Amino acid sequence: MKGADAEARAAAHLETLGREVVARNYRIPGGEIDLVSREGGVLIFTEVRQRRNARHGSAAESVTARKLALMRRAALNYLVREHGRDDLPCRLEVLTIDGSAQTGTLTLIPLDG
């Protein structure tokens, strides 16, 4: 599975930050959330992006506006489907890995709105 190693490392990293990973690869038609974690009473929806090299740009540069829109839609769907409401405290972020999935540099990028 493409990206499985990067997602496993990302999940382990989030757990070292004190988060509980509550879902992986939450899919809806046309969208997906790689990781859903909980920190206190806040749900965090995380997109994981990895680039082995910068030949085609960094991992962060691979996140498009379309991907963010699909991520927001999947997060809203998760809230309604799994919790029965859409007004729970939550946030979106991107976790990038530049380099190999096992040893590359991790960066957490919070997203607005």
Domain ranges of the chain: 4-110
Q: Do 9 and 101 contact (CB within 8 A), yes or no?
A: yes
pLDDT in tens, 4-20: 999 999 999 999 999 99
State the pLDDT at residue 86: 92
Q: Do 90 and 75 contact (CB within 8 A), yes or no?
A: yes
pLDDT in tens, 59-111: 888 888 999 999 999 999 999 999 999 999 999 999 999 999 999 999 999 99
Q: What is the pTM of this model?
A: 0.93
Task: For the domain made up of 4-110, give the CATH fold.
Answer: Trna Endonuclease; Chain: A, domain 1 (3.40.1350)
Cβ partners under 8 Å of residue 88, min gap 6? 43, 79
pLDDT in tens, 25-64: 999 998 899 999 999 999 999 999 998 887 778 888 888 8
Token pair recorded at residue 56: 């085609």
State the pLDDT at residue 75: 96
